[in-house]
């Protein structure tokens, strides 16, 4: 599915969730970069442009909602697809994530079939 070794940035402070998404992506031929906080993610994004960002909502420091809004309002990063991934999965959480600019919202634990559907929608 990925061409020229596409890169995904996963922003999550939970090791288990990070490993699940990493294995899904690596199985599809993606290179994975991880960040444990929003600040770390924004620092990475200031010099790199991944093909997609997976963003947890609950992070140390700034929330994933804030980080998503920052990514989507900066000219250099606004076109990068952002997928919110969270255990916070009420309709209001989904609504708020999409309102911040997220392209899609996945509930944790992320199901492999849902993940593949998301990748096909956003990357093709």
State residue 78's pLDDT score.
96
**Is 22 among the domain residues?**
yes
- Give per-residue pLDDT as tens, 11-42: 999 999 999 999 999 999 999 999 999 999 99
Rounded to whole angstroms, the Cα distance separating 124 from 114 reads 14
Under 8 Å CB-to-CB from 12, ≥6 apart: which residues?
18, 21, 34, 36, 54, 55, 56, 59, 85
Tell me what pLDDT residue 117 has. 92
2 occurs within a structural domain: no
pLDDT of residue 124: 78
Task: Give the model confidence (pLDDT) of 65-112 as tens digits.
Answer: 999 999 999 999 999 999 999 998 889 999 999 999 999 999 999 999
Range of the domain at 20: 7-122
Q: Residue written as tokens 């990063």?
A: 77
Q: Do the domain assignments include residue 56?
A: yes
CATH code of the domain covering residue 78: 3.40.50.2300
Query: How many separate domains does the chain show?
Result: 1
* pLDDT, position 89: 81
């Amino acid at each position: 599915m990925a061409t020229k070794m596409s890169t995904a940035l996963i922003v999550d402070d939970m090791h288990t969730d990070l490993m699940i998404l990493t294995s899904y992506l690596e199985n599809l031929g993606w290179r994975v970069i991880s960040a444990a906080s929003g600040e770390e993610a924004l620092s990475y994004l200031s010099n790199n442009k991944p093909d997609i960002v997976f963003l947890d909502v609950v992070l140390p420091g700034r929330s994933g909602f804030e980080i998503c809004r920052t990514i989507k309002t900066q000219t250099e990063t606004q076109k990068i697809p952002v997928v919110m991934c969270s255990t916070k999965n009420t309709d209001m959480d989904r609504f708020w994530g999409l309102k911040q600019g997220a392209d899609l919202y996945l509930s944790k634990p992320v199901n492999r079939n849902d993940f593949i559907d998301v990748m096909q929608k956003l990357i093709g």
